[in-house]
Amino acid sequence: MTEYPTAFWAETFSKMIGWAANLIVIYLMVLRFETISNWSAYEVLLLYSMNATAYSLSGFFMYNAFGGLSQHIQMGTFDEMLTKPVNPFLYLCFKGFGTGYIGNLISTLTALVICFMKLNISLSFLSVIYFLIIIFGSTLIHSGLFMFTNIPVFWFVKNDALLSFRWALDEFIRYPVSIYDRWIQILLTLFIPMAFINFFPIQFFLKKQDFIGFNPIIVHLTPVIGLVLFFSGYLFFFWGIKHYKSTGS
C-alpha cells in the first residue's frame, strides 16, 4: 500500500466506482417497476449491499489466502507455509490480509446507510448489535464459500469451474430468492445456504414475511449457519493439507 500509492488509490477508487455502478443500476431497475415480488427498490438495494458488505469483509482475509491457493500450489510455494511454526490456517489468512477491498466497502456501507435511512428502519442499541452479529454471520458464510471453492485445489490443482459457479450463485442472491423456482429456493436454503447471507436475516429488520415456506425461525439462523460453514471449512482445510502432495520445484 505504501510502496505504490498511485496504484493503491487507483485500485480503491476504481473499485468504489465499479461497485457503486452496480448498486445504482439494480436500484434503477426495480424503481421503474416499483416492486419485484413485493420487494421495493430500496429493499432490493439493501439485499445487494448487505451481501456485498459481507463479501468485502470476508475478502480482506480470505481473498489472497484462498483465492491465491491454486497458484501457491502450482508454483510449489505452498510448502513454505507448512514449515512455519504456527497454525497454517491463521498464517495464510494473516499473511494474505489485503487492503484491496476498501473501495468496495466504502460503496457498500454507503448504500447500507442510505437504505436504512430511506426505509425508516428504527435502530435501537440492541438491534444495532444484532445487525452486527448478523453481518458477522454473513461474513462467515462468505468465508466458508471462499474455502469450499478453493480448498479442492489440494486434490485437483485447478478450480476454475468451481469459481465461476460461485460467481453465478452470487448473482442469484442479488434479488429476492422468492422470485425463483422452488428447486432453486431449496438449493439456496438447504444445500448452498446463500439465502442466509441477506435474504432471510434482513427480513427481521424489514418486518417482512417472505419465508418461501420455511419456518419463521429461519431469519435468525445466519450466525449459526456461518459458524458451521466456517468451521467445517477449517476442518476441510486441514483434511486438504493431509492429502496435499507437493508439486515439487
Which residues are near another protein by CB under 8 A?
4, 6-7, 10-11, 13-15, 17-18, 20-22, 24-26, 28-33, 36-37, 160-161, 164-165, 167-168, 171-172, 175, 179-181
By beta-carbon proximity to another protein, the closer residue of 22 and 127 is 22
CB 235 within 8 A of CB 144: no
The distance of closest approach from Cβ of residue 30 to another protein in the complex, given in angstroms and rounded to an integer, is 7
The distance of closest approach from Cβ of residue 169 to another protein in the complex, given in angstroms and rounded to an integer, is 8
By beta-carbon proximity to another protein, the closer residue of 154 and 172 is 172
Query: Could you tell me the three cell numbers for 80?
Result: 513454505
By beta-carbon proximity to another protein, the closer residue of 161 and 235 is 161
The distance of closest approach from Cβ of residue 143 to another protein in the complex, given in angstroms and rounded to an integer, is 22
By beta-carbon proximity to another protein, the closer residue of 137 and 185 is 185
The distance of closest approach from Cβ of residue 191 to another protein in the complex, given in angstroms and rounded to an integer, is 16
The distance of closest approach from Cβ of residue 14 to another protein in the complex, given in angstroms and rounded to an integer, is 4
By beta-carbon proximity to another protein, the closer residue of 93 and 184 is 184
